[in-house]
Structure 1
Amino acid sequence: MRIVHVVTLLGDDGAFGGPASVATAQSEECAARGHEVTLVSLWRGGNRAPARIGGVPLRTRPARSLLPGRFTGLMHPLLARDLWRTLGRADVAHLHTGRDLVSLTALAVAVLRRTGFLVQTHGMVEPRRRIVVRAFDRLFVPLLRRARGLLVLTERERLALARVVGPDGPPLLSLPNGVRPRPRSGPREPDGRHPEILFLARLHPRKRPEAFVEMAALVHRRMPQARFRLYGADEGMLPAVRRLVAERGLRDVVTYGGALSHEDALRALSRAAVYVLPSVDEPFPMTVVEALALGTPVVCTDSCGMAPELARRRAAVVTDGSPRALADAVHEVLADEDGRRSLVAEGRRAVEEAYSIHAVVDRLESFYRHARCVDGRCGTSQSEESGCLSKQR
């Protein structure tokens, strides 16, 4: 099949987070299976956009801010032309969509080109009451309703999207995120002299980097040799983080390294003795899956969408998110060698059985085969095709 993935933004700083990682992982796996795949996006970063990502051709334009908002107003006038040409040749399109100009343009072009398409919103589309959002939705929601299916990660996202698109919207299809399993090796021993505890996320209030610093202060009292690193684009919390580091006397043990490219982020995860994600209401954090695949123990909060499954499998330490609980969990992972080894083994097993990109794309291929059948182009009527997808919810 000729498959086009569209995501709002790629770059060498990983600023767009999970949606960018998911789009590239899915594209690469589809290409590895022999499909003709193209990835279309804006690009922002210190380096020029590559021609290919993991063997997948990349069609991109420099990101320009045409409207206010960190991602909402990003666009480039020539990207619309790229989308018109690329989607016109596609059998099916996979649109990684939020409330932004790139997503709106991709949806409109797919409808005009009569290209069957699926939409994956990554938890970015929920009911909103602000006037500007309601005005945007007058164009956005009718286009969403033309999708052959909406891909959802969690039950919360299912309910939110159902409220946005209404009872006559497209089928809501469950699809987890996935990563490529790493080659098996023995559990990596942390550096006993200076074990590194990692925060890897945007410095945004929902990610709670200040809770990570408070946790670091508590762990440091019990394990003075531990070191703590924060990586991620600043979205307003860096001054508070630096102030808290100074107040707690942690300048020598807590450092901030800025935003990382995806490859550098994987290296940071691989080096870490523990990965801590203190954020709340996180639908499906790709950094957690990537840490598990790399054999790095994970500490997260019980509001993470993956928490019930990880807790059931004993593949991560799930806490209530308080600094004290996070600190106790980190101390336990570092102090209990047998427990750490078990976490690593169960984390890798969870990736292989539930969060592997192979299993995800197995399911995607089935969705793609049905989504390409629009207006009888492959012998299936719209009503029949919609019914086929509905059976796979």
Structure 2
Amino acid sequence: MRLVHVVTLVSDDGAFGGPTSVAVAQLQECAARGHDTTLVSLWRGRTGAPERIAGVRFVSRPARRLVPGRGCLGLMHPRLPLDLWRAMGRADAVHVHAGRDLVSLTALVVARLRGVGFVTQTHGMVEPRNGAVARLFDRLYVPLLRRARACLVLTDRERRELSAVLGPDAPPLVDLPNGLRVAPGEPGSRRRGDGREVIFLARLHPRKRPEAFVEMAALVHKEIPEARFVLYGADEGSLPAVAALIADRGVTDAVRYGGALDHPSALAAYRRAAVYVLPSVNEPFPMTVLEALAEGTPVVCTDSSGIAAELARREAALVTDGSPEQLADAVARLLADESLRLRLAEAGRRAIEEVFSIRAVADQLEQLYGTGPGRD
């Protein structure tokens, strides 16, 4: 099949996060199965856009802000609609990773005009909104979402919120987990770190709680002075507070900000690290945790994560209540016990292979793309 996926933004700092990672992983697996795959998106980076991403054909235009002050909603390029028209004209199926933004709206319009069957995956980005801008946008956007063959949902909460937006005319809401491909090699054979680096790798945004990471680092540093801590990720408002807290806690020699990373550099950072910590709460399906597990990196997370119970049951991560004290206790245990780190790494890789593998996801996608009547 000729498959076209659309995601709003691909960037060298990973600013759009999970939707981009999910789209690339899905397409990479589909390409490995012999399908003709294309990703269409805006691009933002310090260099020109690549022609391929993870082996997948990449069609892009530079991101331009057409609507000020609206985050990714207002990003667009005037020639992207033509790229979408051309790509979808040869597609057997279209998959739109859809948020409330101009790229998603344009992709849905083009798919309808082209008469090609499409599915949508909203990644929790479409929830009930009462603001004037959202109501106006939804007058165009929601009827298009209703024309999908299926809307893919990740959690029960997303199902409820999407049902509230789409109403009784909603297309089938189909459960689809996220998934990752596991690179070959045993966890221990692929690790190159010195056993003392702890990392945070996510957007520096209040929801991700980077300040809790710094508080944790200060506590661990008192017990293990040789430990080192690095925060990676695009700044989305929290960097000044993080920098001030590092100075206030007197850990400038142990904690640093490493900037935003492109995806290959992020994977390398996981492999160097002794521990990956995600302090954020209420994460339905944290892709960075799955990426760390896939790279064989021990994980410390919070119990409100949507995958925490499964990881705890499998002893594939240390799950905490999210407080700096519990985070610090978990990190200190891992830094002091190499055998524990190795056990968690092995269990984490098994969890990816058995539960969170992209193979099962691609099996389901092939059925969705190839069967089921369109809603034309």
Which string of whole-angstrom CA distances, capped at 9 and with x for unpartnered residues, describes residues 307-332 of structure 1? 12111211111111111111111112
Deviates more, 1:312-321 or 1:210-219: 312-321
Q: Provide the secondary structure at the position in 1 that maps to 2:185.
A: coil
Displaced runs of 4+ in structure 1, greater than 3 A?
none
Q: CA deviation at 1:84?
A: 1.3
- Matched with 2:312 is 311
Distance in 1 (CA, whole Å) between partners of 2:8 and 2:93 is: 18
The amino acid across from 1:131 in the alignment is: A
Which aligned pairs between 1:202-241 and structure 2 lie closer than 5 A?
202-241=203-242
The amino acid across from 1:63 in the alignment is: A
- Matched with 1:387 is none
The answer to whether the 8 Å contact 2:94/2:117 transfers is yes
- Matched with 2:194 is 191
The amino acid across from 1:221 in the alignment is: K
Which aligned pairs between 1:121-200 and structure 2 lie closer than 5 A?
121-185=122-186, 187=188, 188=191, 191-192=194-195, 195-200=196-201
- Matched with 1:379 is none
Distance in 2 (CA, whole Å) between partners of 1:362 and 1:334 is: 39
The answer to whether the 8 Å contact 2:187/2:346 transfers is no
Distance in 2 (CA, whole Å) between partners of 1:307 and 1:130 is: 33
Kindly, what percent of the aligned residue pairs are identical? 67
Q: Provide the secondary structure at the position in 2 that maps to 1:338.
A: helix
Distance in 2 (CA, whole Å) between partners of 1:318 and 1:134 is: 39
Q: CA deviation at 1:261?
A: 0.3
Q: Provide the secondary structure at the position in 2 that maps to 1:123.
A: coil
Q: CA deviation at 1:32?
A: 1.3
Q: Report the RMSD for the aligned CA atoms in angstroms.
A: 1.4
Distance in 2 (CA, whole Å) between partners of 1:88 and 1:350 is: 39
- Matched with 1:55 is 55
Distance in 2 (CA, whole Å) between partners of 1:47 and 1:266 is: 20
The answer to whether the 8 Å contact 2:193/2:271 transfers is no
The answer to whether the 8 Å contact 1:278/1:321 transfers is yes
Task: State the TM-score, normalizing by the size of structure 2.
Answer: 0.96
Q: Provide the secondary structure at the position in 1 that maps to 2:229.
A: strand
Deviates more, 1:252-261 or 1:356-365: 356-365
Q: 1:335 to 1:132 in 2, by over 3 A?
A: same
Which string of whole-angstrom CA distances, capped at 9 and with x for unpartnered residues, describes residues 254-302 of structure 1? 0001110000000001111000001122121111111101110001111
Q: Provide the secondary structure at the position in 1 that maps to 2:79.
A: helix
The answer to whether the 8 Å contact 1:196/1:226 transfers is yes
Which string of whole-angstrom CA distances, capped at 9 and with x for unpartnered residues, describes residues 117-148 of structure 1? 11111111111122211221111111111111
The amino acid across from 2:201 in the alignment is: L
- Matched with 1:34 is 34
Q: Provide the secondary structure at the position in 2 that maps to 1:71.
A: helix
The amino acid across from 1:293 in the alignment is: A
Q: Provide the secondary structure at the position in 2 that maps to 1:20.
A: helix
The answer to whether the 8 Å contact 1:202/1:235 transfers is yes
Distance in 1 (CA, whole Å) between partners of 2:124 and 2:229 is: 29
The answer to whether the 8 Å contact 2:151/2:171 transfers is yes
Q: 1:206 to 1:186 in 2, by over 3 A?
A: closer
Runs of 5+ consecutive residues of structure 1 not aligned to the other structure: 376-381, 383-393
Q: CA deviation at 1:186?
A: 5.1
Distance in 1 (CA, whole Å) between partners of 2:92 and 2:374 is: 10
Distance in 1 (CA, whole Å) between partners of 2:258 and 2:167 is: 43
- How many residue pairs match? The answer is 373
Which string of whole-angstrom CA distances, capped at 9 and with x for unpartnered residues, describes residues 142-195 of structure 1? 111111111111121111111111133011111111111122325348625xx0
The amino acid across from 1:54 in the alignment is: A
The answer to whether the 8 Å contact 1:93/1:117 transfers is yes
The amino acid across from 2:194 in the alignment is: D
The answer to whether the 8 Å contact 2:192/2:271 transfers is no
Which aligned pairs between 1:316-327 and structure 2 lie closer than 5 A?
316-327=317-328
Q: 1:133 to 1:186 in 2, by over 3 A?
A: closer
Task: State the TM-score, normalizing by the size of structure 1.
Answer: 0.92
Q: CA deviation at 1:247?
A: 0.3
- Matched with 1:390 is none
Runs of 5+ consecutive residues of structure 2 not aligned to the other structure: none
Which aligned pairs between 1:1-393 and structure 2 lie closer than 5 A?
1-68=1-68, 69-185=70-186, 187=188, 188=191, 191-192=194-195, 195-371=196-372, 373-374=373-374
Distance in 1 (CA, whole Å) between partners of 2:193 and 2:263 is: 22
The amino acid across from 1:191 in the alignment is: D
Q: Provide the secondary structure at the position in 2 that maps to 1:77.
A: coil
The answer to whether the 8 Å contact 1:114/1:374 transfers is no
